[in-house]
Copies of this chain bind each other. A is one copy, B any other.
Amino acid sequence: MKLKIKFTAFVASSIDGKIAKDNKTFVDWTSKEDWDFFQKSLAKFDVVVVGHNTYKIYKKRLNKRNTIVFTSKATNLKTQGSVIFLNPRYVSILDLIRKTKYKKIAILGGPKVYAYFLENKMLNEIFVTIEPIIFTAGVSMLSGKKFKKYNFILRSIKRLNKKGTLLLKYKK
């Protein structure tokens, strides 16, 4: 039996859809309950995919995992320990995933990486954690090529704590 490859995005957001102050700053405003969920979830995945900015911020942790880093600076695939760097313009991530036999892929952002998988029809489900905060500015959750309607279905709702951190699961 051939197991299907499954792409799952994990996003932690404010009420107003912001995921970070800028593309260099560590996210320190998510709740402990979300962190616990996130760490427990990641244990079930074969590999994580991040953009180069996200990689730079969380390098130490990501170097310990099977990680694929999207970068616009390379043309050829480059491997460093458990980390693979690739430019999706030149190297097919799907070919790479098939070759490595990874089945469960966690997409951890940032905005362009989430949009890449959505626009290329490689996004099966999304876990969105909404912290009860408004930032009014910052980095938007997704940064796609154009305004387009991608429909999802809400599969589950979980309130993670008293102040109201929400964990939402959406499927394509």
Tell me if A33 is interfacial: C-beta within 8 Å of chain B. no
Contacts A132-B151, A149-B133 given; does A164 touch B159 at CB 8 Å: no
Tell me if A46 is interfacial: C-beta within 8 Å of chain B. no
Tell me if A134 is interfacial: C-beta within 8 Å of chain B. yes
Q: Is B133's CB under 8 angstroms from A137's CB?
A: no
Per DSSP, are chain A's interface residues mostly helix, strand or loop, or mixed? loop
User: In the complex, what residues of B have CB within 8 A of residue A141's CB?
Assistant: 15-17
Tell me if A93 is interfacial: C-beta within 8 Å of chain B. no
User: In the complex, what residues of B have CB within 8 A of residue A152's CB?
Assistant: 15, 132-134, 164
Q: Is B118's CB under 8 angstroms from A134's CB?
A: yes
Q: Is A136's CB under 8 angstroms from B145's CB?
A: yes
Q: Is B136's CB under 8 angstroms from A150's CB?
A: yes
Complex: A13 Cα to B145 Cα, angstroms:
19
User: In the complex, what residues of B have CB within 8 A of residue A143's CB?
Assistant: 136-137
Interface 1/0 per residue, A36-51 and B, CB below 8 Å:
0000000000000000
Q: Is B147's CB under 8 angstroms from A135's CB?
A: yes
19 of the cross-chain contacts (CB-CB < 8 Å) are A14-B17, A16-B17, A16-B140, A16-B141, A17-B18, A17-B140, A17-B141, A22-B147, A119-B136, A132-B151, A132-B152, A132-B153, A134-B152, A135-B142, A135-B144, A135-B148, A136-B143, A137-B148, A166-B168
